[in-house]
Amino acid sequence: MNTLSIYRFKQWLKEGESPLALTLFRIAKSIRHFELPTPRLINKVLYGLHKTLCTQWQAFTHLIFYVPAFKGRLESYGKRTLLYGGLPFFSGPLTMRIGNDCRISGQTTFSGRTNSDNPTLEVGNNVDICWQTTIAVGNKVIIGDNVRIAGQGFLCGYPGHPIDPTERALGKPELDSQVGDIILEQDVWLGSRVSIIGNVTVGEGTIVASGSVVTKSLPSFVLAAGNPAKVIKKLDVNALNTIKEEIRYEA
């Protein structure tokens, strides 16, 4: 029976009005939705077993494979590196350095511009880079200490294509004028799906709201939002410094 015949049979089974089609369809549904009548206690035990096995396997592969393999791609690295969800994807001639206590999702992409001399990504201490984040380094991207980048962030140091449609159709790379550095100073927090374009500095302690597109530099200790991102309000620097001092004292 070829693929077309199978498709037609399925359509007849789903849409047929004859007693035979209706009977066969009910039998197929009952087989498809068959369940074992397991007690609730057994269900909980099986789920606990599943979580335990998955957690132990993830810890094992993290320890003996993913972290060592990740460090093998780095120029330098600090202590207590944590990867979760696998190994990040690397593209291009990227030099990457990270500090201590960095937590990085395995569903992350790091790329370096092919036409740059030495595209470099510097990541400070105590930095979170969450799932499905992409960091495209044109020349330089610097991420300061205590920075938080939420899921699906995009740091675009180079676009990958020229503006001119003819050159783009010919597969030529972007122009040097389209490439820019990105600097996230310490304590910056980027919400989910924040995009940052090259030639931008985000000042210390600034928070960028989810879904924003940052096309110009932002000052320190402000809340910014929108497309393009604009300053919404200033943050209370004294309150932030008090919190930081309390954290240092408790540590």
- Residue 145 in this model has a pLDDT that exceeds 50: yes
What local confidence, expressed as pLDDT, does residue 4 receive?
A: 63
- Residue 135 in this model has a pLDDT that exceeds 90: yes
What local confidence, expressed as pLDDT, does residue 117 receive?
A: 87
pLDDT per residue as tens digits for the range 149-159: 999 999 999 99
- Residue 127 in this model has a pLDDT that exceeds 90: yes
CATH for the stretch 74-250: 2.160.10.10
- Residue 100 in this model has a pLDDT that exceeds 60: yes
135 or 39, greater pLDDT: 135
Residue 43 structure tokens? 């269900």
Q: Look up the pTM and report it.
A: 0.79
- Residue 111 in this model has a pLDDT that exceeds 80: yes
Nearest one of 103, 99, 71, 69 to 84, comparing CA atoms: 103
Q: Is 33 a catalytic residue?
A: no
Nearest one of 95, 147, 140, 138 to 113, comparing CA atoms: 138
Three-state SS annotation for the chain = CCHHHHHHHHHHHHHCCCHHHHHHHHHHHHHHCCCCCCCHHHHHHHHHHHHHHHHHHHHHHHHHHHHHHHHHHCCECCCCCEEECCCCEEECCCEEEECCCCEEECCCEEEECCCCCCCEEEECCCCEECCCCEEEECCEEEECCCCEECCCCEEECCCCCCCCHHHHHCCCCCCHHHCCCEEECCCCEECCCCEEECCEEECCCCEECCCCEECCCECCCEEEECCCCEEEEECCHHHHHHHHHHHHHHC
Query: Model confidence at 110, in pLDDT bands (50, 70, 90)?
Result: very high
- Residue 33 in this model has a pLDDT that exceeds 50: yes
Annotated catalytic residue within 33, 50, 62, 161: 161
- Residue 12 in this model has a pLDDT that exceeds 80: no
The set of residues, in sequence order, having a beta carbon less than 8 Å from that of 159 and lying 6+ positions away, is: 174, 178
- Residue 112 in this model has a pLDDT that exceeds 60: yes
